[in-house]
Chain A
């Protein structure tokens, strides 16, 4: 079974994000960029499936600027076999990316597509679901456990009430949650090998996909600063404030 994994280049999770002066986005100049952590989990799961003999080839895909090649190399160093960059300089949005992934899925014919459940930049949490809908494939989102069988895959999902396990008919789309696995560090020999693995660059037009943004960003702002708390003198005062000010009881 071939596995397609989608990864996104985002601001590194250790960076303290700052809003740009024009309020139209966040500062990315001279900021460390890395693979979206949920996508790292997706790559790791694919590599584990291959190591377990359940997957035969791992193709890693990114939609984004030329620099996203670095992100793809990281995935190759973790154990993916080859990479495809859908090169674009426009702001990537969920629907456009889902369409590009659909085109690639039709071309590559994978048995399974694995994506992070969301990217830590826009936290949209849509691409996987949109991709499954566009392809008409089954989807298992927020996976904390993935067990492939013959022609099916059991996905344990983290939901509000606890865990739910669904069985999907392959081909299918799976999106990863934090507890699915702990991604490995790319070993030095694998980093050295990564540069010899194939990395193909295509443009969206050649896939017949229009990546033009459909959503317009109006304003990006810092979250409001947390105000200091208040000390209450008695239980009565606390209950009164919870009722009248916080309105939680």
Chain B
């Protein structure tokens, strides 16, 4: 797919930033799990934290293609940071932009679009993942307020967010139509980070279990109408999945680049190993798979940009790109041989970082379910 001059400028800026400011510290952040506050601040100043938010609310106002191109590049620098960015843009800013009142936008969106406040998306529960209708968290009306009780699982930015978008059952008899969404400042009494997960990869992005213990918010904290929660939760499903596809492509590209450069330098039997056909052909396959995934991802993004249905295409892009990325990262490790298995080179980390792309925002199995129902 051909991109415009402006989209190329966005991509080039994100690429330079990721190469110079993110990639050098990625291994250290993986070791320490230190939250990348400085990096996110710089990204906020560049407009990367509110890319799809219009200028009037302090965002950058770019199109969706520019957004996925930027996600891809940031992911190539540090996969974990691309998750923070993706969650913040896609399910942090977007729902407030689409469903928020002017007062909610003024209070949250403006700060979020400039990266000064992070957003978290509290849908998943210990017993309810993609099956959002099985939610157990309850919000009970008490005069002008709502009182929220329950637990949320695998919440990206759960510890570092300023505001959490929380989905809770407000009318148990109404099923999916009984779910409502609330904007809960994370300093509200009763918002408790119960546990931080120790993960295979993406370690500098915090993933928290959040317990809501009699969290009291005014009625104005409700996003959208009562009972609109499920619709809000699903509104940017496609966008989120295309974003994961972009992250997968970016991380795979970074692993490929490292493997290609190594294959040009490392010699065996008197020649650079890229001169051995076994290595050269593997690299050719890797590059081809990455490009195929990228084109699926850009195609889905261009459909979404044009306002056309893209549920199936978004799922295909996410499924293909995330599975491709695990394979390509594995092949990258193989290219390095023993050095690929140790942390002197970035490929073992990228392999761990990219694995979750087959899980979050709907597992590969869920994507196949979506695709099979749209055949």
**Chain A contacts to B: CB under 8 angstroms:** 14, 34, 69-70, 73-74, 77, 185-189, 191-192, 194-195
- B62 at the binding interface (Cβ < 8 Å): yes
**Residues in A whose Cβ lies below 8 Å from that of B10:** 188, 191
Shortest C-beta distance, A128 to chain B (Å), equals 25
Known contacts A188-B62, A189-B61; decide if A194 and B9 are in contact (CB<8 Å).
Answer: yes
* CB–CB B9/A77 < 8 A: yes
Known contacts A70-B8, A73-B5, A191-B6; decide if A185 and B61 are in contact (CB<8 Å).
Answer: no
Complex CA gap A34/B61 in Å reads 24
**Residues in B whose Cβ lies below 8 Å from that of A195:** 6
Complex CA gap A69/B6 in Å reads 12
Residue in chain A with minimal CB distance to B5: A70
**Residues in A whose Cβ lies below 8 Å from that of B60:** 187-189, 192
List residues of B (2-19) whose CB comes within 8 Å of A's CBs: 5-6, 8-10, 12-13, 16-17, 19
Number of residues from B at the complex interface, CB < 8 A: 20
State which of A74, A77, A192 has its C-beta within 8 Å of the C-beta of B61. A192
Known contacts A185-B17, A185-B46; decide if A191 and B9 are in contact (CB<8 Å).
Answer: yes
* CB–CB A189/B47 < 8 A: yes
Known contacts A188-B51, A189-B60, A189-B61; decide if A74 and B9 are in contact (CB<8 Å).
Answer: yes
- Majority-rule SS of A interface residues: helix
Complex CA gap A58/B34 in Å reads 41
- B275 at the binding interface (Cβ < 8 Å): no
Shortest C-beta distance, B297 to chain A (Å), equals 20
**Residues in A whose Cβ lies below 8 Å from that of B48:** 188
- B285 at the binding interface (Cβ < 8 Å): no
Known contacts A70-B5, A185-B46; decide if A191 and B55 are in contact (CB<8 Å).
Answer: no
**Residues in B whose Cβ lies below 8 Å from that of A188:** 10, 13, 46-48, 51, 60, 62, 66
Shortest C-beta distance, A16 to chain B (Å), equals 9
Residue in chain A with minimal CB distance to B66: A188
**Residues in A whose Cβ lies below 8 Å from that of B61:** 189, 192
6 closest A-B pairs by CB: A188-B47, A188-B60, A187-B46, A187-B47, A191-B9, A185-B13
Shortest C-beta distance, A73 to chain B (Å), equals 6
Complex CA gap A77/B10 in Å reads 10
27 A-B contact pairs sorted by A residue (CB < 8 Å): A14-B19, A34-B12, A69-B5, A70-B5, A70-B8, A73-B5, A73-B6, A74-B9, A74-B12, A77-B9, A77-B13, A185-B13, A185-B16, A185-B17, A186-B13, A187-B45, A187-B46, A187-B47, A188-B13, A188-B62, A189-B47, A191-B6, A191-B10, A191-B62, A192-B55, A192-B62, A195-B6
List residues of B (96-153) whose CB comes within 8 Å of A's CBs: none
Complex CA gap A70/B8 in Å reads 9
Complex CA gap A14/B20 in Å reads 12
Complex CA gap A34/B11 in Å reads 13
Complex CA gap A195/B19 in Å reads 25
Complex CA gap A70/B62 in Å reads 18
Complex CA gap A73/B5 in Å reads 9
Residue in chain A with minimal CB distance to B264: A16
State which of B9, B19, B55, B62 has its C-beta within 8 Å of the C-beta of A186. B9
